[in-house]
């Protein structure tokens, strides 16, 4: 017999290391909009994004007492970005407990980085609402801590670097235009064109608009000799 949604949630609860007094919070955090229920993870995801940002900021302030604001901002952006949250969700196998509606699309295709990231933030919010800030802090420290402790400070993202470079040369603010969007809703592909002043536009692609814009900005920076192209 296949596990029920409640059983999947109970198994996830053990992996999370938090026993919920209100299991309904966890179930809501795991409920996708396609499930057709009144309560889905969207509101919890909104709250979880803020809780995660606050806790990670506190940890960074303590971990890097001499780091300037710019470095702290880049570290924060790297740690709370969609891809990092999706990695944490995958490591905890949150995907197996997500409740979708009746859909002919294979479950594996529904578990996109967007969905996993949103559910991860919703779970953070559920833990916060069920156990308070200190419980949420312990959860975040346990699963984001190794990422905070390891690695060099991230470099400035390509879009920010391109804007800084273009404005310093009087070329204005870069513009990003969607040239094409293809693929199904659960796995889209974007093609973006970055434009700066009278320079020849640069092209980028990615599975999200943000990723494609970053790719286009990086391409222009590499072409103009501001940065080396990614390996």
Catalytically active residues, by annotation: 49, 121
Cα separations in angstroms, 167 against 126, 157, 160 = 42, 16, 11
Distance CA 72, CA 58 (A): 10
Looking only at the bridges linking them, the beta strands covering 189-195 and 175-182 are antiparallel
Distance CA 10, CA 159 (A): 42
Distance CA 10, CA 123 (A): 13
Q: Are 183 and 162 in contact (CB under 8 A)?
A: no
Q: The dihedral of CA 136, 142, 143, 149: what is its sign? A: positive
3-class secondary structure, 31: strand
Q: Are 203 and 216 in contact (CB under 8 A)?
A: yes
Cα 207 to the chain's mean position, in Å? 13
Q: Are 88 and 120 in contact (CB under 8 A)?
A: yes
Residue count of the chain: 231
């Amino acid at each position: 017999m296949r596990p029920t949604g409640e059983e999947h949630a109970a198994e996830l609860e053990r992996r999370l290391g938090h026993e919920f007094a209100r299991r309904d919070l966890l179930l809501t955090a795991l409920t996708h909009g396609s499930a057709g229920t009144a309560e889905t993870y969207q509101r919890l995801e909104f709250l979880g994004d803020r809780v995660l940002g606050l806790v990670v900021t506190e940890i960074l302030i303590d971990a890097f007492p001499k780091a300037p604001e710019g470095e702290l901002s880049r570290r924060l952006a790297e740690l709370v970005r969609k891809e990092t949250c999706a990695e944490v969700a995958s490591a905890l196998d949150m995907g197996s407990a997500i409740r979708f509606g009746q859909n002919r699309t294979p479950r594996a295709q529904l578990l996109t980085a967007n969905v996993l990231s949103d559910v991860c933030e919703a779970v953070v919010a559920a833990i916060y609402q069920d156990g308070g800030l200190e419980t949420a802090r312990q959860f975040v420290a346990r699963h984001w801590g190794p990422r905070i402790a390891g690695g060099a400070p991230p470099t400035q993202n390509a879009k920010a670097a391109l804007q800084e470079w273009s404005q310093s040369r009087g070329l204005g603010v870069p513009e990003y235009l969607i040239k094409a969007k293809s693929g199904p809703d659960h796995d889209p592909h974007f093609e973006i064109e970055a434009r700066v002043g009278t320079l020849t536009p640069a092209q980028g692609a990615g599975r999200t608009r943000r990723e494609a814009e970053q790719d286009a900005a990086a391409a222009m920076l590499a072409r103009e000799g501001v940065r080396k192209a990614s390996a």
